[in-house]
Structure 1
């Protein structure tokens, strides 16, 4: 069926422009963009002057299959993603067991087929994510792995990591690492400083991130591997990142939407829904990260969606699980940056859609003729109070519960098929 989306404000993250126009979708792709009339027989959808952008490509989503399906399944993650304007999920390998063999990867690929959005997979860089022996990268790539990483399990054996980087380089594979010195960060639950001392919580210095990043960048320089830092959250890391890019290393960096919109003081009186990995940083760091996104020094914004059940969060702060769900709150949280004037809408979707798609070699993330019709229609100004119990995710661990937010997803399209419609949800 041909769709005609009329009266939309179109966000082009590649040209960094906002324009008013119409979009024709045919055979799952964008057939035309401009001020044309509806083709004969097309289904017409009036966008009402709201914003239409490429769907979010979310690099780094935790899904509980296998092993923790009670926290999140492919079905519920897919529903949450559709409701949040995320049209492509890149699932993390930190499952139980880890996605470290072609057989496990093929299992999750089959399971993911039930989701209403596109789901691709990362695979573990080392077996069991234990940092001792690298996985069969070539076989995993043949089975569909888009990237490799051990998520928050930082490899301490530099020789193992250098061998894995070298082999990944020979395959042209992308390696995703978590820049953090594991010794300094072991046992920490907040960022060190006055707040940590007042609360009596174990902290980690922001320097731990810079130290981990500089080790990784030295190995990138030695091996020439394609490298992505999953989260850069401190201003002290930015000069090292900028130098690596200026030197021509194949390096990109990401940050979670939570680290762009929250700071260490939000933890308040030991609120475990704000316990993340890495921990929330200072307001000065948060502002520096927002500027780095606007400047393009940080390439990608992700959700780092990490579902956790009530039992693992309702514990003393130090013992509670880290992480928060974010698929459905991604756009409302991002609108905080937009309304604060820190980042424009085209800059946001460059980091949320275009750049992750380009880094992974995907065709999504673009507002241009011939691109896949993976789109999100949203109102950046629609106000609401978030109730976590209305979220589609199985787990409800969001730091935004009860908060006033702006920005609602109105409809989500994957390959031209409407997979979410707020009007239908409200009926």
Structure 2
């Protein structure tokens, strides 16, 4: 992203900075794309002023799981529109997944995304494919992908079918400084499905995917990490058993981190009774037991981060409940949905939520983000905790409208976003 030389003064905000244990009212001065001062009285007469009294300044959110659909599916989303949606949700850094067309399995495709992202409204990090064509069988040249700028490795959209291939990637990744983000799913158990297997799938008379499909995948990834003493990051956790497996692995010292998504915190498979494909995603919405397990796992630190799995599809694709592809968008609603599920209910404090949406994801990905202090990147979201709003898909900023939160009333809202020292979103 090109940095803006213009100075900005955020004045009178409540500054919540969990990475440093800080929570106070003050000013933030920005110059040359970085924070130059944070104090009760920071000031510069030449700076553009954002009057932030009554608002809360937090480090820009870091989303570890985003599908930008670029290259190949730009009718759904592209790098620039996806980052525009990110900015509207306070997301200043994101990790984009490789299941594009072509897949992100060559240095050229990595460079294409990073080049296009130079003018985007968020910092884009690339997860390159572990295997050629995301077919799960033949390992890519991981060093070449890293050299091209990839920050992570994943076959997301699918698991790495060949466990030996997965193990080799997990063993090589640490020396390359790359995160391995694992889509955990046993494809033999999954097969053809429309929703979670259980009471609702039986009521609708549709084939469901058992929770065991995710759980077996999670167990495999943990086993590889434990056997070789290497780290792994588990994507989009949705089941109580997977959370329990991760909790146990952490207690044993396995280097495992994990994320869940806002829709698993607020919704269950009962939403599928509407026969609306916007509620179909992979993993699917689960049961109330699973929803509560996700909340508890975030509370006790078993699950480290909240990520969106932002997956845009066109209205035409989503029109047919049975034929529609899985996936829902989420970056513009991620903070508000998570705040509604966790802070408004008293499960987490606001600083604890920001720790899981900014500080911890930045640590997992190994990027410079997640903190408000002099010298840090000027990536900041301004939040109105008193806002109450209803999600209107037609007012969202990306190309697609397939949000599972449509019509839902949410608490707290991002009012402005600064990324790289540039105001990339504002409704002030």
- Deviation per CA, 1:346-388: give whole Å up to 9, x if none: 1111111111111111111112332211000011221222221
Shift of 1:211: 1.4
User: Residue in 1 aligned with 2:338?
Assistant: 334
Indicate which of 51, 55, 60 corresponds to 2:60: 55
Alignment of 1:18-417 (within 5 A): 18-317=23-322, 319-337=323-341, 338-417=343-422
Q: Give the Cα separation in 1 of the matches to 2:332 and 2:383.
A: 12
Indicate which of 5, 13, 23 corresponds to 1:8: 13
The answer (yes or no) to whether the contact 1:175–1:225 under 8 Å persists in 2 is no
- Deviation per CA, 1:78-135: give whole Å up to 9, x if none: 2111111111121111101100000111112212223122111110000000011011
Shift of 1:250: 2.0
Shift of 1:39: 3.2
Shift of 1:407: 2.2
Q: Give the Cα separation in 2 of the matches to 1:17 and 1:208.
A: 42
Shift of 1:418: 0.8
The answer (yes or no) to whether the contact 2:174–2:230 under 8 Å persists in 1 is yes
Match of 2:151, SS?
strand
The answer (yes or no) to whether the contact 1:94–1:151 under 8 Å persists in 2 is yes
The answer (yes or no) to whether the contact 1:169–1:223 under 8 Å persists in 2 is no
- Deviation per CA, 1:172-228: give whole Å up to 9, x if none: 432110122221112122112111111112112222222111111111122233210
Q: Give the Cα separation in 1 of the matches to 2:356 and 2:21.
A: 11
- Deviation per CA, 1:240-293: give whole Å up to 9, x if none: 212222232221101111112211112222111000110001112112211211
Q: Give the Cα separation in 2 of the matches to 1:75 and 1:191.
A: 33
- Deviation per CA, 1:39-82: give whole Å up to 9, x if none: 34333321022111011111111112111011101121121111
Q: Give the Cα separation in 1 of the matches to 2:362 and 2:195.
A: 32
Q: Give the Cα separation in 2 of the matches to 1:288 and 1:125.
A: 30
The answer (yes or no) to whether the contact 2:28–2:42 under 8 Å persists in 1 is no
Q: Could you say what the CA RMSD is over the residues aligned between the two structures, in angstroms?
A: 1.6
Q: Higher mean Cα deviation, 290-299 or 136-145? A: 290-299
Match of 2:412, SS?
strand
Shift of 1:3: 2.5
The answer (yes or no) to whether the contact 1:2–1:24 under 8 Å persists in 2 is yes
Shift of 1:160: 2.2
Match of 1:57, SS?
strand
Shift in CA distance, 17/169, structure 1 to aligned 2, threshold 3 Å:
closer
The answer (yes or no) to whether the contact 1:173–1:226 under 8 Å persists in 2 is no
Q: TM-score when scaled to structure 1?
A: 0.95
Match of 1:36, SS?
coil
Match of 1:14, SS?
helix
